[in-house]
């Protein structure tokens, strides 16, 4: 397949790609290194992927950075994951802002540390006017938790008399989700060879094409992203409709 021109999408390029960045721990274990080393290398893979997404003409990229279930991991590893978010923003925010990347962070912010909240606010505020690539980081995020929080928001509006229960439809409910400003993902990629969603974008991925890549996240690069896009390009998206050839 011919290489797409930089910053220009082909007809088969998905508008929105979501990625479950899996395999950092296994990558480190294969090298007899601590899991935190794998997470650090995972940040480098994220840098490569953000750059590649822009070059390939992807408009929206959403990555799963820290799940609500990750709190069950050892304290040292949780702290390391938080440190990586700090490091990524401190190191890359100027470049992302300069290159036209808009940064959003979705997930539950209720129990995040003050400095993390400040980092998130700084990244979102600094890049709000950018529109070349929309980078969304799901941090302290879980799909079921997101839907529950959205349901509470809708229930609060019913209680306040702003809407009636009959106003809630699949279309209107989406505005209560963390991703209200984003289109649904066209392509959802998971690395490491695992074949499950792991509580990621459960509502939004209803009709996403799923591609499971047998490569650990720290080894992910532009070629791997383009290969996933090529798989997507061979799919026929019917959104529940029938196959016209059958």
All residues at 6 or more sequence positions from 240 whose CB lies less than 8 Å from its CB, including other chains: 207
- Which one is catalytic: 24, 70, 145, 219? 70
- Whether 22 sits among the annotated catalytic residues: the reply is yes
- Whether 134 sits among the annotated catalytic residues: the reply is no
- Which one is catalytic: 22, 92, 178, 186? 22
Residue with tokens 């011919």: 2
Q: How far apart are CA 133 and CA 102, in angstroms?
A: 6
Catalytic residues: 22, 70
């Amino acid at each position: 397949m011919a290489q797409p021109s930089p910053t220009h999408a082909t007809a088969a390029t998905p508008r929105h790609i979501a990625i479950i960045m899996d395999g950092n721990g296994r990558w480190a274990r294969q090298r007899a290194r601590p899991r935190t080393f794998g997470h650090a290398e995972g940040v480098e893979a994220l840098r490569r992927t953000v750059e590649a997404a822009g070059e390939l003409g992807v408009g929206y990229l959403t990555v799963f950075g820290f799940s609500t279930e990750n709190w069950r991991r050892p304290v040292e590893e949780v702290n390391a994951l938080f440190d990586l978010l700090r490091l990524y923003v401190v190191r890359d925010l100027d470049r992302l802002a300069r290159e036209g990347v808009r940064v959003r962070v979705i997930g539950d912010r209720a129990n995040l540390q003050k400095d993390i909240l400040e980092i998130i606010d700084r990244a979102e505020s600094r890049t709000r006017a950018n529109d070349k690539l929309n980078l969304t980081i799901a941090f302290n995020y879980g799909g079921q938790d997101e839907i529950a929080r959205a349901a509470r928001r809708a229930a609060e509006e019913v209680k306040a008399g702003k809407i009636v229960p009959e106003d809630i439809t699949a279309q209107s409910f989406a505005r209560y989700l963390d991703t209200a400003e984003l289109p649904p993902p066209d392509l959802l990629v998971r690395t490491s060879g695992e074949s499950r969603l792991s509580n990621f974008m459960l509502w939004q991925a209803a009709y996403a094409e799923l591609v499971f890549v047998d490569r650990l996240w720290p080894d992910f690069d532009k070629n791997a992203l383009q290969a996933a896009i090529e798989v997507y390009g061979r799919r026929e998206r019917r959104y529940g409709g029938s196959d016209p050839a059958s």
